[in-house]
Amino acid sequence: MNNQKKLYRSSTDCWIAGVLGGISHYFQWNSTLVRILYIVLMLTPGIGLVSILAYVVMIAILPAENAPVSFFSQLKSSYQNQTASKKSRRVIHGVEEEDVKHNKKRGQP
């Protein structure tokens, strides 16, 4: 049986991105209490910027409630698929340059 707790972004208990709702569900706390604590942290001098950056990082790292992987993991896998599917470089030989404006002056197409 797989009864492990999993931290995720909540899709039902969310105001901005569901991070605080997911944290409250993980620790089985009241979500209003978690939001109030976050606002106090955000308004604390010296910690405010760090808490805002941590929230943004958690948006990217934590998977959504119904998603199998996080946004960052999806972005990483799509980048890896693009680089793996790139074709090799082609080299063209024997190409001559032609002045199009010069030919139009002489009446040639």
The DSSP output letter for 17 is S
Distance CA 46, CA 97 (A): 63
Q: Are 51 and 38 in contact (CB under 8 A)?
A: yes
| Mean pLDDT computed over 49-60 | 89
CA distance 9 to 55: 11
Whether the Cβ atoms of residue 54 and residue 42 lie closer than 8 Å to each other: no
Confidence of residue 1 (pLDDT cuts 50, 70, 90): very low
| pLDDT computed for residue 3 by the predictor | 64
The separation between the first and the last C-alpha atoms of the chain, rounded to the nearest angstrom, is: 76
pLDDT of 57-106, one tens digit each? 988 888 887 776 666 666 677 666 665 555 566 777 888 877 777 655 55
32 vs 8, more confident: 32
CB 32 within 8 A of CB 23: no
**Would you state the pLDDT for residue 39?**
92
